[in-house]
Amino acid sequence: MISKILKKIFFYLKIFLSKFYSVRKKYRVGTKGWLIYSEIKYGGFRTKLKRNHVSEYDHRSNEEINTGGMTGGDRMFIHGYAKHYSNYLSKFAENRFEKINILEVGILQGTGLAIWSELFPNAKLFGADIDLSYFNENINFLKAKGGFKNNEPTLISFDQLNTEGYNNHQIRGIKFDVIIDDGLHSKEAILNTIKYFYPKLNKQFVYFIEDVKFNLSHEIKGIISDEKVVQHGELIVITNV
C-alpha cells in the first residue's frame, strides 16, 4: 500500500518538475533536454482521454475499456525515455536533414509526430491509429507550435489486433527507418505489429516499443533475424544501427 502511494507521489512530482523544461528553450536539437522540452511545447502530459473507437478483437472488458481512458505526452519525461530516444536516434540525427521514413503507431493527439517533424524536417512521416480523430482535432494546435512546417504526416487507419491481410496503398513499397509502437501495449498487439512491419524496415533501422510491462524478448527474437533486442525498463528497442 505504501509503495503504491509513493509511486503516485513520484508520478505527480515528475509532472510538476516537467514544467521547468518549458522555461528553458536552449537545448541542442535531438538531445534529451530538447526532446523533453519539445514534448511539453507540443502539449505535454494528457490523460483520461476517452476511447472513442476500439478494435472488435479487443480482449478487454467493457469496464476496462471505459475506465481511465488514454494517456499521451508522457514518453520523454514521465516515462524517462528521452535519453534512450536521443541515444538511438543519434545516428539519424547526425544527418537530420536526410530523407528518412518514420512511422508512429498509436499517435493519439500527435505530440510525437510533431516532435519527429521538427527533429527530421525532411522525413516522410506516417501516423497509424485505430482512431485518428484526436490527431485531426489537434493538428492546428501542433502547427501553431511549429510542427509540420515541411512534412505533414500521412495518416493510416490501423488495427493492431487485425493485421492479417491488411493492405494499405499509402505504405506500399515504403521502407521505414524508424518505427515507434505506442499503441495498445498488449502482447498480441505488439507482436502483430512487429510481424506486419518487420518486412517493411530499411536495411538500417531502429524500432521502439513503449510501455512494455512484461518480458517479450524471446517472442520478438522468434520473429526478427539477427537484430539486437534491448530492454530499458518498459522500453524495448530493436535495432541494427
pLDDT tens for residues 44-81?
Answer: 999 999 999 999 999 889 898 888 899 999 999 999 99
Provide the CATH number for the domain around residue 93.
Answer: 3.40.50.150
Q: Which residues of 156-191 are buried (b: 16+ CB within 10 A; e: fewer)?
A: bebbbbebeeeeeeebeeeebbbbbbbbbbbeebbb
The tally of domains found in the chain comes to 1
Residue 209 pLDDT grade (very low, low, confident, very high; cuts 50, 70, 90): very high
- CA nearest 198: which of 170, 228, 175, 215? 175
Domain that holds residue 13: 2-239
CB 104 within 8 A of CB 180: yes
Residue 25 pLDDT grade (very low, low, confident, very high; cuts 50, 70, 90): low
Cα 145 from Cα 148, distance rounded (Å)? 9
Poorest-confidence range of 4-18, 62-76, 80-94? 4-18
Residue appearing with cell numbers 516537467:
18
Q: What is the pLDDT of residue 26?
A: 77
Residue appearing with cell numbers 519527429:
116
The fraction of the chain above a pLDDT of 90, given in percent, is 80
Q: What is the pLDDT of residue 140?
A: 98
3-state secondary structure the chain: CHHHHHHHHHHHHHHHHHHHHHHCCCCCCCCHHHHHHHHHHCCCCEEEECCCCCCCCCCCCHHHHHCCCEEECCCCCCCCCHHHHHHHCHHHHCCCCCCCEEEEECCCCCHHHHHHHHHCCCCEEEEEECCCHHHHHHHHHHHHCCCCCCCCCEEEECCCCCCCCCCCHHHCCCCEEEEEECCCCCHHHHHHHHHHHHHHEEEEEEEEECCCCCCCHHHHHCCCCCCEEEEECCEEEEECC
Mean pLDDT of 147-173: 95
Q: What are phi and psi of 114, to 5 degrees?
A: -65, -40
Poorest-confidence range of 4-18, 99-113, 180-194, 217-231? 4-18
pLDDT at residue 194 greater than cutoff 90: yes
Residue appearing with cell numbers 527474437:
221
pLDDT at residue 126 greater than cutoff 70: yes
Mean pLDDT of 131-153: 97
pLDDT at residue 5 greater than cutoff 90: no
